[in-house]
Amino acid sequence: MAVGRRFGPARRTTTAVLAGTIGLLAPLAVALPSWAQQAPADGYYATPPPVDMGKLIADSGQPDKKYKPSKACVQRSTLGQNIVLKTRPWGQDYLQIDKAQEIVKAATGSVGGGVKVAVVDTGVTRHPWLHNLQSGGEYVATPSKGQPGGLEDCDGHGTEVAGIIAAKPDDPEVGFVGVAPDATIVSYRQLSENYEPDTSTSTPPASNTGGGTPSSNTPPSGSGSSLPPTSGGGGGAGSGDDDQTSPGQSNGGRQLEKAGTAGTLKTLAEIIRGIADRKDADVINMSVDNCRTANGSITEGEQQVQAAVHYAAAAGIVIVAAAGNATDTCPQNDQPDARKPKTIVTPPWFADDVLSVGAIDQTGSVAQFSVHGPWVGVAAPGTQIISLDPAEGSTGLANLTFESGDKASEIQGTSFAAPYVAGLAALVKAKYKNLDAKGIINRIKETAQHPAAPGGRDNFVGYGVIDPVAALTQSLPSEIGNQAPIPAPQLAQLPPSNDRSSTPMIVALAGTGGGLVALLITLFVMRTIRRNRPAETGDARR
């Protein structure tokens, strides 16, 4: 799917005609009511069952169990030759982030100032280019003495996510910048693949932010990022460092409830409820997922998250989540009937209250790893990512991740597409202060570059790739109570193409035959007159 420029004025009429035709045919092409309200008869869920608010749980403010470090945390390595990253990521140019920021700054005086974005992830490490960072909570381990909860990132994933949302480099030569650099990040460490359950009876150990050799990990069964998110490579942009970052985990994304790691659906639900109760944030970004086989059921943990996101959305919070990445244990939804998915991804499954984000690549096509599904809301760049280097003490950027040893891979995944949308939500919130959460989400969806599909959405990119400039400038009829008028269908007044009556044909043939006869008689008479006319004599000519 290629995403091109908007059509100019000369092509808008054709576009409108096509859109109207699609609108009339959509009810026939997609029988939404048959599956959107309930599970199909065979037991598979395309959409979840109704919300059970009895499953809403309170925020305990602490881990659900004791965890201990199992692997070394993200760290600086000795690789690299003082590489300084100055290139602007392709995603910034593709989305015209600089123009969007100019629009918001002209209207408000800042670029997202006053808006809080909660990052529920692996924590966020302090970085000199992340100016507005606050502690949210710690749900993995007891923070180090004097260390606020949520500000340690052993995995490195959450720091990169936060950078895409709100990083603000001090070096003018650096091209990378967060979408809403004046917004405030509130960090919650909710999971880690570098921690495991502690079966001993001792007190949970403090977080390990030291070095050591990273050990390998089994690829997780879900998504968040298809390649290891703890970045490497690139060195500190503008820092002059001669090293890179090596990770504390191997291939895979941030998967909830994976065996031998920290992070459950229960604590995710607690955090979302707590944010809503305390009004800690205007936007929540969750680049974490739980992926499982679709079997017609819903687990208790999923019900808890469903109730929590419904509660938070009702409280006016915009909830953004990564759509998920396909892996061997998280199969792609490529079955013929989209209403019967093979894979369920939570929290994107709860699309009534969550804006889930798929990923596109540099060509504008949907990324191969991005999980498809009826819950996909919009899409954003998710490949060749550049963001903050997450190693503690780093002062630059990273664009690579090291799976093992010196093997480097690009940073990519729906984990990093989601923060582009969360950052845009912060900009919309800053510019349109009276819009509620649903209004912000609708504005992002309605102004997206819609795919050529019935209803302007599909199961790959949802309503399309986000368009930040349009989201910040377009006037939407739905916001002023003036829905665009739908023209009444004009009934044809012509007779049926075949009414089984031969009269019209007989009349037509008779008329044609009569005309030919008249023409022939006329020609015959004229020829006869010419032949019978007396010859002129010479005397007459004289």
3-state DSSP call for residue 293?
A: strand
Structure token pair of residue 450: 């819609």
Rg of the chain's alpha carbons, rounded to an integer? 32
Closest CA to 91 of 356, 418, 453: 418
Which listed residue (157, 310, 372, 450) is catalytic?
A: 157
Q: What would the DSSP string read from start to end of 169-201?
A: -S-TT-----SSTTSEEEEEE--BTTEEE--SS
How far apart are the C-alpha atoms of 341 and 326, rounded to whole Å?
Answer: 13
CA atoms within 13 A on the CB side of 273: 19
* Rounded alpha-carbon distances, angstroms, from residue 237 to 87, 125, 276, 365: 10, 17, 37, 29
CA dihedral 121, 125, 126, 128 (to 10 degrees): -100
Which listed residue (231, 310, 415, 458) is catalytic?
A: 415
Helix 300-314 / helix 265-278 crossing angle, nearest 10 deg: 20
3-state DSSP call for residue 53?
A: helix
Is residue 322 within 8 A of residue 348, CB to CB? The reply is yes
Q: How many CB atoms lie within 10 A of CB 283?
A: 29
Q: Any residues with CB less than 8 A from the CB of 22 and at least 6 apart, and which?
A: 454, 455, 456
Which listed residue (121, 153, 198, 243) is catalytic?
A: 121
Is residue 404 within 8 A of residue 251, CB to CB? The reply is no
- The structure tokens 């760049």 sit at 381
Structure token pair of residue 256: 């909830």
- The structure tokens 């060509």 sit at 363
* Rounded alpha-carbon distances, angstroms, from residue 134 to 103, 123, 255: 26, 11, 24
3-state DSSP call for residue 101?
A: helix
Runs of H (alpha helix) within 32-179? 33-36, 90-95, 97-108, 157-166
How far apart are the C-alpha atoms of 443 and 492, rounded to whole Å?
Answer: 37
How far apart are the C-alpha atoms of 542 and 457, rounded to whole Å?
Answer: 94
Structure token pair of residue 66: 């004791």
Catalytic residue flag (residue 415):
yes
Closest CA to 375 of 357, 340, 348: 348
Q: What would the DSSP string read from start to end of 415-481?
A: HHHHHHHHHHHHHHHHH-TT--HHHHHHHHHHTSB--SSGGG-BTTTBT-B--HHHHHH---GGGTT
Structure token pair of residue 358: 């798929």
**Could you list the active site residues?**
121, 157, 415
